[in-house]
Amino acid sequence: MYQATRKGAIVVADNKSRADYFKERRKTSKAFYVEINKEKMEEFEAKLSKNNRTKKEWLNEKIDEELKK
């Protein structure tokens, strides 16, 4: 199986190693997904981009703040 990456490189991987990778990843990660207004999200993404931050970095910081309360 061939898998294209975001950078355009092609990586050869078999289904078993891919399945194993995601199985291990699910042991330490959990997804957080919500839908919000498109314009609001685009404005937020622009602000993050201006500050050179990712949504993941921002969310982790906010979660840490909430947990410290």
- Identify the pLDDT of residue 18: 86
Q: Which residues pair with 3 in a beta bridge?
A: 11
- Identify the pLDDT of residue 59: 97
Q: pLDDT 10s per residue in the chain (69 long)? A: 445 566 665 555 567 788 898 999 999 999 999 999 999 999 999 999 999 999 999 999 999 999 998
> Secondary structure of the chain in the HEC alphabet?
CEEECCCCCEEECCHHHHHHHHHHHHHHCCCCCCCCCHHHHHHHHHHHHHCCCCHHHHHHHHHHHHHHC
